[in-house]
């Protein structure tokens, strides 16, 4: 078969590139080695975290990507819920950071509202007593991460004529050909969206780029009782220290110092906690960050316990039984949010390297396809 564009990988990046390619009038095929997407795109929180971005180009990219998500969701009939997010302060240093961030205003700054301790219960049930206040932003959307890739693939096949080759691994890409476990196909352009795994297809480019892997642990509770609903994503001080939305705050060094002194194990394992309710009532909890190939912690159960301890410090969940635990991986490049390289003529490899491909994926794809079709 001959295609204008062959996309390797059926995760959110691959699907976003396939959509942008089809919209540009290209004949597109997607090759996914599993029977369905099984990478980071189905293992995350489904958080389109506009609120967590650094004002400037990062925030603009997230907002552009959200606009594309909304268009896709409406056309493909998938649910995209404006959940909002709540950064809850339990330490004075956290509150100082939130107050400073709330004071920043302007068209290129997120819409944040400072919430007093007495009003917290209106925003989220189950928050622990003793919280000092919170910062709320409406700019966070919840996608159903487990169902979205399959739904988008079905819609792309049906409405955009994209051909899907599931259960088909690409073993070589170059010279206008994709060689797969199911035969060879000609392609004018090849875009590799293999997540943290394009090392196998482009070993030299992977090695030269300096990119590595980040391993994350995640948990999910059993469904909460009927009627108990948590609308926003809830996060605490560890997330404030992680997200670039707070990177320029003068209060950040003091917060980091307190965390290093008071929660060294959580800091060591890169734990920060996001609490997110799924449509089935369960709560997704995570995560941790271990960097480098084969960087599993010695005691993964201890890392889960750190995530749960931080969750318990923030909230009382009526149903605390853990129904599922899993690991996710993404490509990581320190201080860089995107790796887009061309290892040889006609081949582009693209991966989001800051762990926020759900938030930025559609904007990244629009740029790649614009470059290829210019
Ligand atoms: C635990 C966790 C939580 C996260 N939370 C968030 C969040 O809330 N918000 C956010 O914005 N981002 C989040 N991220 C990051 C986000 O999930 C990723 O950036 C994004 O999903 C990457 O998408 P992708 O399509 O590049 O990769 P993947 O989803 O990993 O997809 C790559 C696909 O390529 C396939 N593949 C690889 N090689 C081949 C080959 N040779 N032939 C055929 N198929 C191949 C794989 O099977 C896989 O399905 C999180 C990540 C993790 C791990």
Read off the pLDDT of residues 311-322 as tens digits, 9 standing for 90 and up.
999 999 999 999
Distance 352 CA to ligand 1 centre (A): 9
**pLDDT: which is higher, 223 or 298:** 223
- From atom 2 of ligand 1, which residue's Cα is the shortest distance away? 44
What are the tens digits of pLDDT across the range 77-125? 999 999 999 999 999 999 999 999 999 877 778 879 999 999 999 999 9
pLDDT on residue 272: 93
Buried b (16+ CB within 10 A) or exposed e, 101-134: bbeeeeeeebebebbebeebeebbbebeeebbbb
pLDDT on residue 105: 79
- H helices of 89-144, in order, are 92-103
273 lines ligand 1 (CB under 6 A): no
pLDDT on residue 227: 92
What are the tens digits of pLDDT across the range 132-162? 999 999 999 999 999 999 999 999 999 999 9
Distance 236 CA to ligand 1 centre (A): 25
Q: Which atom of ligand 1 is nearest to the CA of 195?
A: 27
Instruction: State the first-to-last Cα distance of the chain, in angstroms, to the nearest integer.
Output: 25
Fold of 2-44+146-209+335-373: FAD/NAD(P)-binding domain (3.50.50)
Q: Which of 171, 174, 203, 209 is nearest to 191 (CA)?
A: 174
The encoded tokens of residue 280 equal 């089935």
What are the tens digits of pLDDT across the range 159-196? 999 999 999 999 999 999 999 999 999 999 999 999 99
Mean pLDDT of all residues in the chain?
Answer: 96
Distance 106 CA to ligand 1 centre (A): 33
pLDDT on residue 206: 86
Buried b (16+ CB within 10 A) or exposed e, 2-39: ebbbbbbbbbbbbbbbbbbbbeeebbbbbbbbeeebeb
149 lines ligand 1 (CB under 6 A): no
Q: Which atom of ligand 1 is nearest to the CA of 350?
A: 26
Distance 360 CA to ligand 1 centre (A): 12
Mean pLDDT, residues 272-294 taken together: 94
| Under 8 Å between Cβ of 327 and 318 | no
179 lines ligand 1 (CB under 6 A): no
pLDDT on residue 124: 97
Q: Which atom of ligand 1 is nearest to the CA of 359?
A: 11
Residue 294, pLDDT > 90, answer no
pLDDT on residue 200: 85
What pLDDT band is residue 293 in, cutting at 50, 70 and 90? Answer: confident
Q: Which of 178, 160, 161 is nearest to 169 (CA)?
A: 178
- Give residue limits of the domains in the chain: 2-44+146-209+335-373, 85-137+212-332
pLDDT on residue 248: 92
Fold of 85-137+212-332: D-Amino Acid Oxidase; Chain A, domain 2 (3.30.9)
């Amino acid at each position: 078969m001959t295609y204008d564009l062959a996309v390797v990988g059926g995760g959110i990046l691959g699907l976003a590139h396939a959509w942008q390619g089809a919209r540009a009038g290209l004949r597109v095929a997607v090759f996914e080695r599993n029977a369905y997407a099984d990478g980071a795109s189905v293992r995350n929180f489904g958080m389109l975290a506009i609120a967590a971005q650094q004002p400037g180009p990062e925030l603009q990219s997230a907002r552009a990507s959200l606009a594309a998500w909304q268009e896709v969701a409406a056309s493909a009939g998938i649910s995209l819920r404006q959940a909002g997010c709540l950064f809850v302060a339990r330490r004075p240093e956290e509150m100082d950071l939130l107050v400073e961030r709330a004071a920043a205003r302007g068209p290129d700054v997120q819409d944040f509202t400072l919430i007093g301790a007495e009003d917290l219960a209106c925003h989220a049930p189950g928050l622990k007593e003793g919280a000092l206040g919170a910062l709320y932003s409406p700019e966070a959307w919840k996608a159903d991460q487990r169902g979205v890739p399959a739904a988008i693939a079905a819609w792309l096949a049906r409405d955009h004529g994209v051909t899907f080759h599931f259960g088909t691994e690409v073993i070589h890409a170059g010279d206008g050909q994709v060689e797969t476990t199911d035969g060879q196909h000609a392609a004018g352009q090849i875009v590799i969206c293999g997540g943290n795994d394009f090392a196998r297809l482009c070993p030299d480019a992977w090695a030269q780029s300096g990119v590595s892997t980040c391993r994350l642990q995640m948990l999910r509770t059993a469904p909460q009782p009927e009627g108990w609903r948590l609308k926003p994503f809830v996060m605490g001080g560890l997330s404030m220290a992680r997200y670039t939305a707070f990177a320029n705050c003068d209060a950040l060094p003091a917060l980091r110092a307190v965390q290093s002194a008071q929660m060294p194990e959580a800091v060591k394992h890169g734990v920060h906690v996001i609490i997110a309710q799924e449509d089935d009532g369960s709560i997704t909890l995570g995560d941790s960050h271990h960097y480098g190939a084969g960087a599993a912690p010695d005691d993964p159960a201890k890392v889960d316990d750190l995530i749960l301890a931080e969750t318990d410090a923030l909230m009382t969940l009526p149903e605390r039984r853990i129904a599922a635990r899993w690991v996710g991986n993404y490509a990581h490049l320190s201080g860089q949010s995107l790796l887009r390289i061309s290892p040889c003529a006609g081949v582009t490899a693209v991966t989001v390297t800051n762990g926020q491909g759900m938030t930025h994926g559609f904007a990244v794809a629009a740029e790649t396809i614009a470059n290829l079709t210019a």
